[in-house]
Chain A
Amino acid sequence: MAQKKAAHSEGFEREALVHLDTLYNVALRLTGNAADAEDLVQETVLKAYRAWDMYERGTNCRAWLVTILRNTFINQFRKQSKKPASVQFDSVEDVSIFESVQDRDPAGSFFRHIVDEEVTRAIQELPEDFRVAVVLSDVEGLSYGEIAEILGVPVGTVKSRLFRGRRRLQRRLYEYALEMGYIG
């Protein structure tokens, strides 16, 4: 019995706890503040620990954990009033900011001047659907298929959210860089 219990937590530590950074990063982007993010991660890890016997070994543990985290966020952390509204197409997504910078800074070196705080703020201002897709893909490096599985949407939807989220984020950072004089 004790041996079984030890093997249980050892397996959990080895396979699940290595993804703590990913969980925290996604939690932070969902909740928008460190205190809630920490509570959300702890809640997620406990749920995963209790359900560890149900986790199918050898499948994608990170995607499994992020799915639990997202469901926990929806059920326990998100206030009803804050449910994301469906996002309308915005004309800012039609044009890449590359067209505006190609003569002055085609390599996008202005990105390097942007402070961390502003990067966080810009990501946070994205609509939730886009924000989650961008963070899972571009920060955490998950594939379109993994993201589709976590969010329960078709791969085509992931592609479109990524496209629109990236375009909006670029525009937001570009406008900040202009304000700060990082682009001549």
Chain B
Amino acid sequence: MMTGWWLRRKRNRIKEAEAGRLDCAGIMERLYEYIDEELDDPRLVSAIRDHLEKCKVCFPQYEFEKAFLRFLAQRGANGAPPRLRRRIFQRLLEEESQS
């Protein structure tokens, strides 16, 4: 019992230490995964969030990367043209009547 508790505490401390050791370079390495919400470890997520809140070097870059990704999401899309929709519906009707 004691051993299990002790081991758990030790493991947690190691994880915390890892998270605490994240320097600016470490943050930059994980920045996209953080923005994309692709990090599984909630400790790592909160460690990065804490760092970004405090760090005058990383925070502006974080904001810049977010602006860039917002820009891509807004400006990179091309909807299917109406004539393509019509063409496809027509083709599917033909397909249906043949089968």
A-side residues, CB < 8 A to B, are 5, 9, 12, 17, 20-21, 23-25, 28, 34, 38, 41-42, 45-46, 49-50, 96, 98, 101-102, 106-109, 111-112, 114, 116, 119, 123, 134-135, 137-141, 143-144, 159, 162-163, 166, 169-170
Q: Is B14 an interface residue (CB 8 A)?
A: no
Within 8 A of A (CB), among B82-96: 84-85, 87-88, 91-92, 95-96
Within 8 A of A (CB), among B66-99: 67-69, 71-73, 75-81, 84-85, 87-88, 91-92, 95-96, 99
Contact A162 B96, CB 8 Å, known A106-B64, A139-B72:
no
Q: Would you mind naming 16 contact pairs between A and B with Cβ atoms under 8 Å apart? A: A9-B92, A21-B80, A42-B91, A46-B95, A49-B92, A49-B95, A98-B60, A102-B60, A108-B68, A114-B75, A134-B72, A135-B76, A138-B76, A139-B73, A144-B36, A162-B32
Contact present for A20 and B88 (CB under 8 Å): yes
Contact present for B81 and A138 (CB under 8 Å): no
Q: Is the interface of B mostly helix, strand, loop or mixed?
A: helix
The CA of A120 and the CA of B93, in the complex, are separated in Å by: 33
The CA of A166 and the CA of B84, in the complex, are separated in Å by: 30
Q: How many residues belonging to B are interface residues under a CB distance threshold of 8 Å? A: 32
Among B60, B64, B79, B95, the residue within 8 A (CB) of A21 is B79
Q: Is B63 an interface residue (CB 8 A)?
A: yes
Contact present for A20 and B64 (CB under 8 Å): no
Contact A166 B71, CB 8 Å, known A5-B96, A42-B88, A139-B76:
no
Within 8 A of A (CB), among B33-52: 33, 36, 38
